[in-house]
Structure 1
Amino acid sequence: MKIINVRAKSIYTKSKIPGVDWVVNQYVGCQFACKYCYAKFICKWKPYGEWGGWVEIKVNAPELARKRVYGEVFMSSISDPYQPIEKELKLTRRTLEAMNKRNKLSVLTKSPLVIRDIDVFKMFEKIEVGLTINSFEGREKRLIEPFAPVQRARVNALKTLKDEGIKNYAFVSPIIPGITDVEEIIRETRSFTDYYFFEILNLKAAGREFKELLMENFPESYKIMVDEDKFWRFIKDLIDLIKRSNIKAEGVEVHRRGWEFIEVR
């Protein structure tokens, strides 16, 4: 793993994410190296090698985080704030400690390490913490996200956040037909999850290599993803499932000839 220490000029970046004013990336790159990760595009501007083989560390992030910005802040968009290096470095924790506690903060991670910082989360007036859950286990996990924490650890972290009074959400992503068991995820988490956000796999953003991985190892899933009629039938069935489940769902994000956000009512 290549570690690159840099001094950044700013830690807050204006966001293009709907409803979010600023994104914070104290790390760039991610040790989890998920095969489908959409953040791989950043490698075009970071000549450090393949995605997952390096992490850029903004060593002055806590200092920069003291700047007073106002609005909703999201952490993080091109890394996981609780990837393995964070356990020793505590850069995320120190960045959180320095931030304006009056801003609404949303944190998203795949790691149970997030519960370490519950004491800091409680300092914020408005905060929500999400865990990415996708039900990948066994062969699917080994092929798709081999270095990410196991599902059980993520689900347990989601429950701990709820038990500690932190608003939480399940980010169900990526949803891949025939692989992601959305019904089971809802059944397992509904009693302690404040709300859900559903995201269908963005096959284009996942890249050529992942497309080939899916085609070779999960041909039926690939066929649904690329067949227009089968794909939208899958989306309809998913929305019907969400409605039947009677949960709070922000909506379903779909990338098909662009970007579409489908509200679930």
Structure 2
Amino acid sequence: MKVRVIERRARGIYTKSRIPGVDWTVNQYVGCAFACEYCYAKFLTRWKGYGRWGSWVEVKTNAPDLARRHVSGSVVMSTVSDAYQPLEAELKLTRRVLRYMDKRNQLSILTKSPLVTRDIGLFMEFGNLEVGLTINGFTGREKRLFEPLTPIQKARVNALKELHESGLKTYVFISPIIPEITDVSAIVEETRDFADRYFFEVLNLRASGREFRELLREEYPESYEALTVEKAFGEFLWRLRKEIKALGVKTEGIETHRRGWEFVGL
């Protein structure tokens, strides 16, 4: 699918965050060609008017100049895009943002792409930086239905390993966790040698959008029930907490999104 590129100049690149534990967000791109069916950022299509999610990407052409500012607190890149989506290989906008960014900034980068390893040299210049890979274990049918355009899991795991072996702090974002589908233990066992910590996020069914909710209800009714029926969800969450606790990895808990943002301790 050909992706429409919209170039524009932004007034700023650091945005105050509403995400608990995150002070600032940076998005040099808005929109994402990975076009994951469950993506929480799809809400942007209501205001952007460019068409279906995944068919367009906004490029903030002056982002490198705007990145020079020093901000206090934690900065996360990216929340409504992927900094290393396919377009980045050509435009190198993320690379230029990193080059001009104040290296004192506390930066966390999250991506699904092995392209992230290209910038290991730049990452080493930061005093406080970590890089995370979203790894959810989707293969076969689930991959085709949920995120057909993303890099495969093995490529993500290999990227995580390369980042770790270069001496960088790394984390794994296991998301979305979908009952009866996501094998959390298998993901941890495959990555534990290369990850300093883990984040666990249960699928935010409301934010995933009507089309994905219908897809999940029709194709995976047991998973849908476990996320929508209070008793079933409680049982699923109890099992998940027990499973994660037994794995013994460093984490702060589980994001559930049942009533807005919720963080469930272990």
Q: How would you bin the TM-score normalised by the shorter chain?
A: over 0.9
Q: CA deviation at 1:61?
A: 0.4
CA distance in 2, matches of 1:14, 1:237: 35
Q: CA deviation at 1:22?
A: 1.1
Contact persistence 2:70–2:105 (CA under 8 A): no
Please state if 1:72 is matched with 2:74. Answer: yes
Q: Give the match for residue 194 of structure 1.
A: 196
1:1-265 aligned within 5 A: 1-264=3-266
What is the DSSP-based 3-state SS (H/G/I as helix, E as strand, rest coil) of the residue aligned with 2:187?
Answer: helix
Q: CA deviation at 1:259?
A: 2.4
Q: CA deviation at 1:237?
A: 0.7
Q: CA deviation at 1:217?
A: 1.1
Q: In the TM superposition, what whole-angstrom CA distance separates every residue of 1:212-239 from its partner, at most 9, and x where no partner exists? A: 0101111111111111111111111111
TM-score (norm 1): 0.98
CA distance in 1, matches of 2:188, 2:4: 38
Q: CA deviation at 1:166?
A: 0.6
Contact persistence 2:28–2:94 (CA under 8 A): yes
Q: Which moved more, 1:63-72 or 1:110-119?
A: 63-72
Q: CA deviation at 1:150?
A: 0.4
Contact persistence 2:201–2:254 (CA under 8 A): yes
TM-score (norm 2): 0.97
Q: Which moved more, 1:27-36 or 1:224-233?
A: 224-233
Point out where structure 1 has 5 or more consecutive residues left out of the alignment. Answer: none
Q: CA deviation at 1:33?
A: 0.2
CA distance in 2, matches of 1:221, 1:18: 27
CA distance in 2, matches of 1:36, 1:130: 19
Identity of aligned residues (%): 62
Amino acid at match of 1:107: I
CA distance in 1, matches of 2:121, 2:22: 24
Amino acid at match of 2:143: K
Contact persistence 2:137–2:153 (CA under 8 A): yes
What is the number of equivalent residue pairs in this alignment?
264
Q: In the TM superposition, what whole-angstrom CA distance separates every residue of 1:175-220 from its partner, at most 9, and x where no partner exists? A: 0001111010011111221000000000000010000010111111
CA distance in 2, matches of 1:197, 1:168: 11
Q: In the TM superposition, what whole-angstrom CA distance separates every residue of 1:6-33 from its partner, at most 9, and x where no partner exists? A: 0111111111112222110000000000
Q: CA deviation at 1:70?
A: 2.3
Q: CA deviation at 1:68?
A: 2.6
Amino acid at match of 2:213: K
CA distance in 1, matches of 2:256, 2:22: 19
Find runs of 4+ consecutive structure 1 residues off by over 6 angstroms.
none
What is the DSSP-based 3-state SS (H/G/I as helix, E as strand, rest coil) of the residue aligned with 1:259?
Answer: coil
What is the DSSP-based 3-state SS (H/G/I as helix, E as strand, rest coil) of the residue aligned with 2:256?
Answer: strand
CA distance in 2, matches of 1:259, 1:76: 18
